[in-house]
Amino acid sequence: MRVALWPQSLFGRLIAALVIAVVLAQAASLYLFARHLERFVLDSSVREWSRRITEMTLLLEQLPPDQRAPAVARLKEQAARLALRRERRGLGLRMHAWHHGGIPYLLLPIEAGPPPAPDAGPPEPPPAQAEPPPALQPAHTHGWPHIFIRLPFASDVERVLTQQLQADLGSGYDVTVRAAVAPAAVVIPIPSPFWGLPADHPTQSYDVAVGLPDHASLIYRVTRAAPGTPLPKNLIVNLILLVFVLVIALYIAARSITRPLSRLASAADDIGRGLRSPKLEEKGARELRHAAHAFNTMQDRLHRYLDSRTSVLAAMSHDLKTPLTRLRLQVETQIEDPALQARFGKELDEMESMVRGALALFRGLNDEEALEPMDVDLLLDTVRGEFVEMGRDVTVEGRALGPFPGKPQALKRCITNLVNNAVNFGARARIVVRDGARLEISVCDDGPGVPADQLERVFEPFYRLESSRSRDTGGTGLGLSIARDLAQAHGGALVLRNRPEGGLEARLTLPRGR
C-alpha cells in the first residue's frame, strides 16, 4: 500500500504548509539567536582573556629574567587555589540548594558574590545535615547538560584572540595562539571568565605564546567550554509552545475555509445525482459567501429550467397521443390495402415508441426516488430472470461484497437497458460483477461492436448507427443515453469499449465511498 507523504485534502495541505513555514521560521530565528549568543560569549571571553594576559605580560616583563620563573610558579599556584575555591564554593551552593528544597542547576551558570580574598583559607565544609540525598549526588557533575541545549557552531577563537592581543599589547610583541595538544609545565593558566562549569564538562584549551621585546616568551593557557552555543531549555519550550498555539490557530482558520468548500462540493455532487439539496448557508468569509450565493442562484435556475422543460415535453408528449390514436384508427378503417396499412402502422408504432422514450428520458432526469441500501446480486438475478423468461441468453458472473446505497428502480432501468442492448445486437449478454473500492458491473455481448469514433456518439439521444443498429431493430436511440444519465445520478460512470476477442463491453462503475 502506497502512503502519500503530502496530504491530499485542501485542509491537510493548508495545515501542513503553514506548520512547515512556522517551523522553518522558528528554526531560522533560533539559528540567528544562537549565532548572536555565540558571538557575544566569544567576544566577552576574548576581551577578558586579553585583558588578563596583557596585565600579566606587562608585569612579568618588568621583572629580571631570573625572577620570572618563580613568579610564573606563584601565578600557577594561585590559579590552582582559585580554581579549587570556586569548585568548593559551587559545591556548597548546590548542597545548600538541595538542603532548602531548591533547584541547584539554576545556581551553576552564575557565580554568587565576589571571589574569596587571596589570604583566606579554604571554606569550611558544609554541615552534615546539608548532605544531598544519595539519589541527587550525580547531579554535582552532570548539571550542565540539564541546563543548556547546545548547538554545534565552530568559532575561530585563535584568529579573534590573536587580533585582540595584538591590539592590546601593540606591535612590539609577537602573539601566537594555537590549540593545546598536551600538558605543559611552564604555562600560566588563565581562569575562565564564566564560572560554574562542572568538572567533567567538555572543554577546549588554547596556548597563547607572547614574545617579549627581549626575545623571551611567556605561554598562557586559556580554557573555554566545548565549541557550541548554550541555549536555555526554556527557550526551546517557548518555541514549541508557540508552534503549538499557531497550529491550533491555523487549524481553526483552515477549517473555516475548507468546511464551506466541502459543503459546496457535496451540494454540487447532489445536483449531479439529480437530488434537490437545501440551499447552502451564505456565511463565512466574503469570498465564501459569494460562492455560496452564486451556487444557490445556479441551483434555482437549473431546477426551474428542468421543471419547465419536463412539464412542456410531458404535455407535448401527452398531447401527441391523441392525434396518433386518431391516425391509427383512420389507418385501420380507411386503408384497405394490407401492405400500406402495415407500413403506416409501423411508422405510427415508431412514433409512439419515440414519445415513450422521450418521457422515460426526462422522467429519469427528474427522478425523485430515494436512496436506500439494495442487494445488487438480487437485482441482477431479477434482471436475468426477466430476460430468460423471454428466451434470451443472459448469465451473471461474480458477486457483490455487500449492499449498495442507490435507487433500486433507476439502477434496474440502467442495467436493463444495457442488457437489452446486448441481447438485441449481440445475441447473448454476460454480466460480470467486480466489487471493491468501486462496484463495477460489465455487460458484454458477442456482437459486431461499435466503431471507435462512434463510442461516445452512441450516448447522444436519438442517435443510432446505420449498420448493425438500424431502425429495423426497433430501437429509438435513447437506451444508452438514459443508462448514462442514471449512472451519473449515482455518482458513477458508464463507458463502452470494444473487446479484443470481439463484441462490446458496457462498463458501469459506481463509487462505494458515497
Q: Which of 493, 318, 505 is nearest to 418 (CA)?
A: 505
Most confidently modeled of 97-106, 109-118, 283-292, 425-434? Answer: 425-434
For residue 10, what is its C-alpha cell? Answer: 485542501
Domain 370-511 listed as CATH 3.40.50.11440: no
Place of cell 422514450: 357
Is 423:506 a contact under the CB 8 Å cutoff? no
**What was the pLDDT predicted at 124?**
46
Domain formed by 273-368, architecture = Orthogonal Bundle (1.10)
**What was the pLDDT predicted at 419?**
94
Average pLDDT over residues 295-316: 76
Is 398:432 a contact under the CB 8 Å cutoff? yes
Question: Where in the chain are the domains?
Answer: 10-115+122-236, 273-368, 370-511
Distance between first and last Cα of the chain: 22
Q: Is the pLDDT of residue 119 over 60?
A: no
The residues, any chain, with a CB within 8 Å of residue 4's CB and separated by 6 or more, are: none
Q: What is the pLDDT of residues 94-107, one digit of tens each?
A: 444 333 433 333 22
Q: Is the pLDDT of residue 443 over 90?
A: yes
Is 95:126 a contact under the CB 8 Å cutoff? yes
Average pLDDT over residues 318-324: 73
Residues forming a β-bridge with 178: 207
Residues forming a β-bridge with 284: none
For residue 7, what is its C-alpha cell? Answer: 496530504
Cα 269 from chain centroid (whole Å) = 25
Lowest mean pLDDT of 57-61, 177-181, 305-309, name the range: 305-309
- Specify the DSSP element, H or E, that contains 442: strand 438-445
Average pLDDT over residues 283-288: 80
**What was the pLDDT predicted at 226?**
66
H-state helical runs in 100-156: 144-147
Q: Give 109's DSSP letter.
A: S
Rounded to 5 degrees, what angle do the CA atoms 360, 362, 366 make?
A: 115
pLDDT above 70 covers what percent of the chain?
73
pTM, two decimals, is 0.46
Question: In angstroms, what is the C-alpha Rg of the chain?
Answer: 46
65-99 and 10-62 helices cross at what angle (nearest 10)? Answer: 140
Could you tell me which residue, 495 or 225, shows the higher pLDDT? 495
493-498 β-sheet, strand order: 393-397, 428-435, 438-445, 504-511, 493-498
- Specify the DSSP element, H or E, that contains 439: strand 438-445
Q: Strand 188-190 vs strand 203-211: parallel, antiparallel, or unpaired?
A: unpaired
